[in-house]
Structure 1
Amino acid sequence: MTAERSLRRDAQSNVEKLHAAALTVFSDRGLSAPLEDIAKAAGVSIGTLYNRVGSRDQLIDAVIPAVVGEKLLALKERTMAEPTPRARLERFVTCMIDLQLSDPALNDAMLRRFPDATALINACDRSTALGAELIEDAHAAGVLSQDFTTEDLMAVLWMAGTASHDPRAPSGWRRLVERGVAAAWIE
């Protein structure tokens, strides 16, 4: 009985080490970082990773949604503190691009590179809903062209997310993205 409890404690310790290592490796290198590197960083075998955590998507869902949720909540608070619908939407776009630039894991999440990581996708859906709400508010205030839709916003963020992590992307990609959004304003 003692050996079984010890194993359970060791197994739990391995899971905790794997989660901590995954959080670090994913944050530094993105969600497609090799699982072998996570196991190595945790000091366990790849077999232990698969045995204790499961698939990549399960590992992503275990560690990333809480972090993404915190960052997106902070983004929402900064966005909603702005005084006008235009300022809120501009803040949202700028902050989302900055997050995509600074956090490879969040960028992978926003680009939906791992669609089977359902908890992560649900967290990202909340930011999409916020973007949709901001667009509706800007339309209602008459400051944003009715032609600019949530789909357009997601396309802008997709382009920014793709360009921001492609070393072959032209250096002016962000200026072009900002011009695309600026062209949608009416006033």
Structure 2
Amino acid sequence: MAEPKALRRDARDNAAKLRAAALDVFLTKGLDAPIQEIAKAAGVSVGTLYNRFGTREGLIDAVIPDVAGARLQALGAAVMAKPTVKERLRTFVHGMIDLQHQDPALNDAVLRRYPDAVALLGVCDVSARLGQDLVREAHREGALSADFTEDDLFGLLWLSGTASRDPAAPPGWRRLLERALDSALT
């Protein structure tokens, strides 16, 4: 099998400019930001963007997994530092809500809006497993209502992500989610 051909310097520079522009635009506007805006910010054509990364998902996977992974890993460490499962579950939910609200790209990742961004989904799966484990542990310890399921947890996070992106969302949406969690904790 032939070795992959090394990129010319200008092609490497264009790819680096595209990565930097994509990271900035995605983190500011979310993963559905216009590709044309990213290409323009990088000073290249949309054709160059697609030539380098293939698809939007290819570009997402080139720039977002490391950032999302670091943020989710920091949340995971904060969660696991709590002494009780009830505190861990609260920290997880509140931390995820905060991340979704503050970071449009991470919100899109958590909502799995781009399922073909495989590397990003892998990063999100780690946090999803943490949430599932917390629900199971809380059930075992009797700290969570038996009828609150893993699906309920992800439903709360989906509602949070949807509301945080919608300027017309009622101002009390976060309080309602907190009440739902409070009522499930025993």
TM-score normalised by structure 1 residue count: 0.95
2:12 alignment counterpart: 12
Secondary structure of the 1:72 match is helix
Aligned length: 182
1:173 alignment counterpart: 173
1:163 paired with 2:163, answer yes
Q: Percent identity?
A: 59
Q: Deviations over 1:145-170 (max 9, x none)?
A: 11111110000000000001101110
2:131 alignment counterpart: 131
CA deviation after TM superposition for structure 1 residue 137, in Å: 1.3
> 1:147, 1:132 → 2: CA distance?
14
Q: How does 1:57-136 map to 2 (within 5 A)?
A: 57-136=57-136
After the TM superposition, which parts of structure 1 deviate over 6 Å for at least 4 consecutive aligned residues?
none
2:185 alignment counterpart: 185
> 1:118, 1:54 → 2: CA distance?
14
> 1:110, 1:52 → 2: CA distance?
26
* Letter of the 2:150 counterpart: T
For structure 2, the 5+ residue unaligned runs are none
1:31 paired with 2:42, answer no
CA deviation after TM superposition for structure 1 residue 39, in Å: 0.5
> 1:16, 1:53 → 2: CA distance?
11
CA RMSD of the aligned region, Å? 1.2
1:144 paired with 2:179, answer no
